[in-house]
Structure 1
Amino acid sequence: MKIVNRIGHWEQHPVKTYKTRSLSAVDHLILHHSGVSSGTPESYAQYHVHTNNWPGIGYHYVIQSDGTVYKCQKLTTISYHTGNFNTKTVGICLSGDFSHSIPPKPQLSAAYELVRQLMLTLKITENNVLGHRECKGHETNICPGFSMTSFRSNISPLSKRNVSKKRNRPLLKRGNTGLYVQELQNRLKANNVSTGEIDGIFGPRTEQAVRTFQKRKNLQVDGIAGPNTWEMLLQ
């Protein structure tokens, strides 16, 4: 999964700004579709600002048909995407109209992976992953089009996915992304080593955190999470 950070990159209201919240306040993920056959985060931002008169793009994440994930707002931003549910939710939009079709495989796969990462970060269960139309007061909305029952059946906590065994942890280094990187970041944090934001991206801060942990545990200090580093992290 490729996550492209574009926070603050697209159209924003000249005066209005979104409020913020603590990360612990978030308790649901809400999935949307754009409802149009083609579209981009940039076009959604323009519509949300100029037509809806919102402070900026309403979605926290937008997933394109090729599986590229755009991060559009911080998780601590109370953006507008589902009326009466915005203060405690994260909005994820899949570009496309899925009222009579399903998302392309790369897009759906990226949605599964992103949602699993956010479930870990925010300590959210699959029961709290909802489609727009499943929110009270929005039942007449067709969004996100595809079956949320099917979607939820394909996501489950990391603990249920047979990744708890040490032999299943891959070697990780700078440039890697995904679920295992997020687990690495969470385990470093549990060992009082900060990686910054837990985003599933193995960047320079995560590499430095690995080096700090390795030095503390008298391991080879190379910034790479290999078998010995994982073994110490999993103790």
Structure 2
Amino acid sequence: MAEIQNMISILPWHPTRRWGVRQLSAINKIIIHQELGEADVEAVNNYHIKPNHISSKGCPHLCYHFSIRKNGEIIQANELSSVTWHCKGQNIEAVGIMAVGNFNGPGYDMGTSEPTKEQIKSIDFLIDYLIKSLRLTNQDVFGHYHFGKPACPGHELQKYVEKRRESLVAVDSNVEKSVKEVQKRLNQLGFAAGAEDGIHGIKTLAAIRKFQAAQGLHVDGIVGPKTWSRLLELTK
């Protein structure tokens, strides 16, 4: 069984900077990332605490709550109550998980590896643990691609995320609707959701956002009750 190794105090910290703090009740999602490199957890942490692309002053610590090594070892780098900087606009509400590796993803064909079986097994274990302890659901599991980074966490982990989310993106009168039906209705309206294959990929995500923008809805790429209701109304 996978175990979580606590390295919060072992990995070096920025000399002066520290994370903001939140109540655990503020957490409503889990976001999976890839490293986009072939370094180890320690090297990524050292990069983050020095001046980098995220902050010219350096970040307090590794910018994810958890990291998964290629051998499947789960590293906890920050307390769940810490507001780390892993996904712009989502940090107060999200737990960030990074898989070590440089994986091919949409618009990014420079990958040099793929997630290992051990990593995927450990991600599954960790998400089960977080869902149970934080009282979340599979619908609260996302990839960074849901929030503006198409290549992250790559093709294979995107498939994992969509399978984990059970390819369900909308609720109407407590009846779950499939991605395939959403795609069909978006295509019917001319929003080019791509193949009606039930996969919530980049084309479908872009089509949902375009539809939301056109209808004056909140543009988040998620088919919640308001978006679904509007889709139903226009495709009767």
Q: Give TM class, smaller chain.
A: 0.5 to 0.7
- Amino acid corresponding to residue 158 of structure 2 in structure 1: M
Offset at residue 25 of structure 1 (A): 0.6
C-alpha contact (below 8 Å) 2:142/2:161 kept by paired residues: no
Q: Is the 8 A contact 2:30 2:95 kept in 1?
A: yes
In the alignment, is residue 151 of structure 1 matched against residue 152 of structure 2?
no
Q: Does 1:89 align with 2:94?
A: yes
Letter in 2 for 1:142: A
Question: Aligned partners of 2:165, 2:120: CA distance in 1, in Å?
Answer: 11
Matched residues in 1 for 2:153 and 2:136: separation?
Answer: 20
Where 2:72 maps in the other structure, the secondary structure is coil
Give the Cα separation in 2 of the matches to 1:126 and 1:46: 32
CA distance in 2, matches of 1:4, 1:150: 23
Cα offset for 1:21?
0.6
Unaligned runs of 5+ in 1: 157-235
Name 1:55's counterpart in structure 2.
Answer: 60
Contact 2:141-2:164 at 8 Å conserved across structures: no
- Unaligned stretches of 5+ residues in structure 2: 53-57, 105-110, 167-236
Given that 1:126 and 1:152 are in contact with CA atoms closer than 8 Å, whether structure 2 keeps it comes out as no
Cα distance change on mapping 1:74 and 1:98 into 2, 3 Å: same
Q: 4+ runs of 1 displaced by more than 6 Å?
A: none
**Equivalent of 2:76 in 41, 61, 71:** 71
Deviation at 1:68, TM superposition (A): 0.4
> Structure 1: which amino acid aligns with 2:145?
R
Alignment of 1:193-208 (within 5 A): none
Aligned to 2:210: none
Aligned pair count reads 152
Deviation, structure 1 residue 134: 0.7
Offset of residue 113 of structure 1: 0.8
Conserved? CA contact 2:99–2:119, under 8 Å:
yes
Other-structure match for 1:44: 44
SS at match of 2:95: strand
Contact 1:2/1:67 (<8 A) preserved: no
Aligned partner of 2:163: which letter?
S
Q: 8 Å contact 2:143–2:161 — kept in the other structure?
A: no
Contact 2:139 2:165 in 1 (8 A): no
1:155 Cα offset (Å): 6.9
Distance in 1 (CA, whole Å) between partners of 2:30 and 2:164 is 15
**Which residue is equivalent to 2:224?**
none
What do you get for the CA RMSD once the two structures are aligned? 1.7
1:108 to 90, 109, 120: 120
Q: CA deviation at 1:59?
A: 0.7
TM-score normalized with structure 1 length: 0.61
Q: 1:33·1:144 contact (CA, 8 Å) conserved in 2? A: yes
In structure 1, the residue matched to 2:5 is 4
| 1:70-122 residue CA offsets vs partner (Å, 9 max, x unmatched) | 01001000011111111110000000011156411111101011011101111
TM-score scaled by length of structure 2: 0.60
Maintained 8 Å contact 1:127/1:152: no
Against the structure 1 CA distance between its residues 59 and 76, is the aligned structure 2 distance closer, same or farther, given a 3 Å change threshold?
same
Identity among equivalent positions (%) equals: 28
